[in-house]
Amino acid sequence: MKLYDTLTDLFDDARHRDRSIRFVDGETDETTLSFGELYDRAVALLGALQAKGMRTGDELVIFSKSNEGFVVAFWAAILGGIVPVPVAVGISDEHRFKLFRILSQLEHGTLFTELGLLERLIEFADEQGLKDIRRLLDEKTVLMSDVEPGAAGEIHAVTADDVAFIQYSSGSTSDPKGVCLTHRNLCANIRAIVEATRWNEDERSLSWMPLTHDMGLIGFHLSVMAAGMDHAVMDTNLFVRRPLLWMLKAAEFRATQLCSPNFGYKHFLKLFERKGLPEGTDLSCVKVVMNGAEPISWELCEDFLDALEPFGLPRSAMYPVYGLAEATVGVSLGNPGDAYSRIVVDRHSLAIGDAFEPVPPESPDAVSFVKVGNAIRDVEIRIVDDGDQLLPDQHIGHIQLKGASVTERIYGDPEATAGLFTADGWLRTGDCGLFVDGQLVITGRQKDLIIINGQNYYPHDIEEIAAGLDELDLGKVVVAGATPSGAQTEELIVFILFRQDLDAFRELADRVRKTIGEHAGLEVDHVIPVARIPKTTSGKVQRAHLLRDYLDGEYDGVVDELGGARAEEGEEAADEDPLVAEL
């Protein structure tokens, strides 16, 4: 595939292709834009934004429920040398605080949003007494409804080293990190993705991933556009409400390329097991179901393939991948059409520098890790020890990257930028893994980052939420993520220092669940009382110690007893789907 210099060049080339993008907002609610029509609308919107005073180098925070509105605004900004900043519209307090922190960080930021969203933001800012934020909302907002496309905008001649857009870290964080991606970063990664997947203009893609997510935006809009593919973007909330429609639309559209993180398959299967798909649904058109954005469950992949095999979905379609925002999106991809595979190891053999120890799948200490392919073009991967020294294959270590798609900086944060890189210039991914049979395997995260439903969460943030209860403080709460043997998704565990009886603990545990749910939009899997919180000599909490005890079964009795009480809470609570709330 051609290597473009800039996204502007990519879009200028794409607009002459006889291809389109379909926006799926309901079973029969759809709109379609040809690439040429999208280009014309983007140019017209650019003119309106420039008439509002926006200039090259300014940042445009796109905060919208409309995929169509988002895409037009994104390309309008790109064409004008304005820097798009995609931000997801969420339902929790933390989503709103994240947006406020981003607006406060940006030097020349403008919020581009809808009236209903702005009204709720203003109401929340007033309730919280955030006068500075209220001022930002009043002074730096442009409503989509107030922008009337008029004269064509002036297209700016960007260079490969100009910042194209800023990806802010997903999930809940008190200090969101803006990853600056240049046109060079993006174009190199897009070419590598298209070549590795063997995409061409005869393929068709369908994605329900949010366009504010790197896989949704770069993987299944920018890259498929570069390949010249017809593609459809399904509203994420529609997938949440009607997950079976994902496969029905795939069959209708004759999509060959799909994608989802781990939790999406679980969400789909939950309804599929009750209702199934209509007889005659034909998924034989699907060649690839890309699986990434969070740890991949072998068992869940198998369940998904087993369920859809009768409808023609080939087992070879499952396509595990690995990537991260700091490397644009794609890092390692497999060979399309090859059967995906795994390693099964003793979960006690995963320390840095260890050679992995294979065990049978039925072993009580067995844990599966899916192979996620090879380094794509223009990316190098190395596995190192704690001293950044290279480790042999089949040894667990820190994953580090170098290449054309790796970011050069975090927006406005030289300290965070410096911390990203080793002394010899390799990107620290924060992930751990190894090479087996030439393929990369991800075994976990270097630090305590928790990935739930495809979003990143930092334990300290969730601990602060729980510590807002009168009986707790930060020294008494530890939050961690765990993937027990046989589990399909990561569990969110809250450990609480508590030395009284379980009857007295139940009420506190319920309030912890409720508080975290209300403020972070997360469901806690287990709240566990512990007699002590292990810490290092410097006073740092040893989450790994608590997790090891949990995975070794030390708390099984307590979990069972507390779980039995929760099971009696009623049908309504049991039927609530945390994935719906999270998305």
Task: Identify the band that residue 460 occupies on the pLDDT scale cut at 50, 70 and 90.
Answer: low
349 vs 18, which has greater pLDDT? 18
Q: Are 74 and 83 in contact (CB under 8 A)?
A: no
Residue 499, judged by CB atoms within 10 A of its CB (0-12, 13-18, 19+), counts as: exposed
Distance CA 467, CA 477 (A): 7
Question: What tens digit of pLDDT does each residue of 31-48 get?
Answer: 999 999 999 999 999 999
pLDDT higher than threshold 70 for residue 569: no
Task: Identify the band that residue 453 occupies on the pLDDT scale cut at 50, 70 and 90.
Answer: low
- What's the token pair of residue 360? 């049978």
Coil, strand or helix: which one is 376? coil
Task: Tell me the average pLDDT of the chain.
Answer: 89
Coil, strand or helix: which one is 529? strand
DSSP character string of 182-224 = EHHHHHHHHHHHHHHHT--TT-EEEE-S-TTSHIIIIIIIIHH
83-92, 172-181, 333-342: least confidently modelled range = 172-181
Task: Identify the band that residue 428 occupies on the pLDDT scale cut at 50, 70 and 90.
Answer: very high
Give the pLDDT confidence score for residue 456 in this predicted structure.
54
Task: Identify the band that residue 255 occupies on the pLDDT scale cut at 50, 70 and 90.
Answer: very high
- What's the token pair of residue 321? 């991948």
Q: Are 493 and 530 in contact (CB under 8 A)?
A: no
pLDDT higher than threshold 70 for residue 162: yes
Q: The dihedral of CA 558, 461, 213, 416: what is its sign?
A: negative
Give the pLDDT confidence score for residue 122 in this predicted structure.
96
Distance CA 203, CA 224 (A): 9
Angle between helices 502-520 and 93-105 (to 10 degrees): 50
Task: Identify the band that residue 468 occupies on the pLDDT scale cut at 50, 70 and 90.
Answer: confident
DSSP character string of 158-173 = --TTSEEEEEEPPSB-
Distance CA 89, CA 131 (A): 22
Give the pLDDT confidence score for residue 174 in this predicted structure.
56
Report helix, strand and coil shares of the chain as percent, to nearest 5.
40, 25, 40
93-102, 226-235, 415-424, 477-486: least confidently modelled range = 477-486
pLDDT higher than threshold 60 for residue 581: no
Detail the DSSP E strand segments found in 453-551: 455-457, 477-482, 491-497, 526-530
Q: Are 31 and 81 in contact (CB under 8 A)?
A: no
Least Cα distance to 505 among 493, 517, 497 occurs for 497
Tell me the β-bridge partners of 431: 445
Average pLDDT over residues 399-424: 96
Give the pLDDT confidence score for residue 579 in this predicted structure.
47
Q: Are 359 and 347 in contact (CB under 8 A)?
A: no
pLDDT higher than threshold 70 for residue 204: yes
Q: Are 352 and 398 in contact (CB under 8 A)?
A: yes
pLDDT higher than threshold 50 for residue 538: no
Give the pLDDT confidence score for residue 574 in this predicted structure.
35
Cα-Cα-Cα-Cα torsion 542, 544, 550, 552, nearest 10 degrees, comes to -120
Least Cα distance to 435 among 346, 348, 374, 349 occurs for 374
Residues 6+ away with beta carbon under 8 Å from 230: 19, 20, 21, 22, 204, 205
Rg of the chain over CA atoms, in angstroms?
24
Average pLDDT over residues 189-205: 97
Average pLDDT over residues 466-481: 82
Q: What is the pTM of this model?
A: 0.83
87-91, 200-204, 329-333: least confidently modelled range = 87-91
pLDDT higher than threshold 70 for residue 455: no
- What's the token pair of residue 412? 């406005």
Average pLDDT over residues 388-400: 95
Give the pLDDT confidence score for residue 486 in this predicted structure.
65
What percentage of the chain has pLDDT greater than the value 90?
A: 68
365 vs 435, which has greater pLDDT? 435
Distance CA 429, CA 323 (A): 9
- HEC string of 322-369 equals EECHHHCCEEEECCCCCCCCEEEEECCCCCCCCECCECCCCCCCEEEE
Distance CA 289, CA 154 (A): 39
pLDDT higher than threshold 70 for residue 566: no
Task: Identify the band that residue 424 occupies on the pLDDT scale cut at 50, 70 and 90.
Answer: very high
Average pLDDT over residues 414-436: 95
Average pLDDT over residues 249-257: 98
Give the pLDDT confidence score for residue 155 in this predicted structure.
97
532 vs 335, which has greater pLDDT? 335
Coil, strand or helix: which one is 58? coil
Residue 568, judged by CB atoms within 10 A of its CB (0-12, 13-18, 19+), counts as: exposed
pLDDT higher than threshold 80 for residue 539: no
Question: What tens digit of pLDDT does each residue of 309-341 get?
Answer: 999 999 999 999 999 999 999 999 999 999 999
Question: What tens digit of pLDDT does each residue of 117-154 get?
Answer: 999 999 999 999 999 999 999 999 999 999 887 789 99
Residue 468, judged by CB atoms within 10 A of its CB (0-12, 13-18, 19+), counts as: exposed
106-120, 246-260, 426-440, 520-534: least confidently modelled range = 520-534
Distance CA 247, CA 400 (A): 36
238-242, 303-307, 396-400, 562-566: least confidently modelled range = 562-566
Give the pLDDT confidence score for residue 543 in this predicted structure.
81
Tokens 């209509």 identify what position? 278
pLDDT higher than threshold 60 for residue 470: yes
